[in-house]
Amino acid sequence: MRLRRWQVEIAVTLIVAAIVVYALRWYLFPSESFHREMLRYLVDDVAFLFIQVLLVSMLLDGLMQRRNRDTMLDKLNMIIGAFFSECGTDVLGRIAKLDTDLDDVRGDLLARMAWKSKDYERAKQAFRDHKPVIELSTADLVELRVRLDQEKTYLLSLLGNQALLEHEKFTDLLWAVTHLAEELHARGDFDHLPDADRAHLVVDVKRAYTLLGVQWIDYLRHLQTQYPFLFSLAVRTNPLDPQASVTVVD
């Protein structure tokens, strides 16, 4: 590590100051016994210096790692927030409208201002355990393909973001949505799909749907703690609630 000039100047100043103080002590207390005691304490101080360096290094390293982790999480949450604003919430809402059994768990997914951590965990578990029933018509497939084609460049740019490597769940979500987009884009005509092929697309839709829902619930928790004003809007536009309305009512 290359030291800067100001660091060298401070180090030299401190060393000189220490030497001056020890010299004054030696001069002011000329007793031979005091000299021996002074040297003994000096050796003790030097020995303990290594322990001090160890303790300070460990403490600083822990603090720096925590700070870096918090900074990275903030950046990741900003990326996740941009994703849901750009397309994630819309795609989740489109698929949710096709889920005929969503009413079975909808009550667990309607976030409220008073929700605590346990409520979010319960909501995520309910959505993971939920077995969506989705039937895709030709019109549904076309609309979903058009929407995802609009976001193809954006999704690929997110996958190229190295910071997302630290967030495996969100990366899995992006891969699931991107894969679904590619599957839909690769088919020119949905009118004459074999039953097996349509069933394959349903599986891809369900995979993306589940990952989107779970990540969206985590995103809500982040908004509630960090950005209450954004959380209020997200609750009022809940893509899993067909009765959701952006209008604020008493």
Residue range 27-76, pLDDT digits in tens: 766 766 766 776 667 666 766 676 776 677 677 666 676 776 666 777 78
| Residue 94 · residue 147 · CB < 8 Å | yes
d(CA 137, CA 51): 70
Question: Which residues fall within 8 angstroms of residue 239, CB to CB, at 6 or more apart?
Answer: 89, 90, 92, 93, 96, 216
Residue 13's pLDDT is what? 85
pTM score, two decimals? 0.73
d(CA 40, CA 104): 77
Residue 47's pLDDT is what? 66
Q: Taking the domains of the chain in order of start, what are their residue ranges?
A: 5-64, 73-236
Residue 25's pLDDT is what? 72
d(CA 203, CA 197): 10
Residue 249's pLDDT is what? 66
Q: How far is CA 198 from the centre of its chain?
A: 34
Residue 35's pLDDT is what? 64
Question: Which residues fall within 8 angstroms of residue 176, CB to CB, at 6 or more apart?
Answer: 204, 207, 208, 211
Confidence of residue 128 (pLDDT cuts 50, 70, 90): very high
Residue 218's pLDDT is what? 93
Amino acid identity for residue 236 in this structure: R
Residue 127's pLDDT is what? 95
The DSSP result for 193-208, as a single string, is --HHHHHHHHHHHHHH
Residue 139's pLDDT is what? 93
The predicted model gives 143-168 an average pLDDT of: 86
Q: How far is CA 141 from the centre of its chain?
A: 31
Assess whether pLDDT exceeds 80 at residue 85: yes
Tokens of residue 94, six digits: 């489109």
**For the segment 176-224, what is each residue's pLDDT rounded down to a tens digit?**
999 999 999 999 888 889 999 999 999 999 999 999 999 999 999 999 9
DSSP assignment letter at 102 = G
Q: How many CB atoms lie within 10 A of CB 239?
A: 22
**For the segment 97-124, what is each residue's pLDDT rounded down to a tens digit?**
999 999 999 889 988 888 999 999 999 9
Tokens of residue 7, six digits: 């660091």
d(CA 149, CA 181): 7
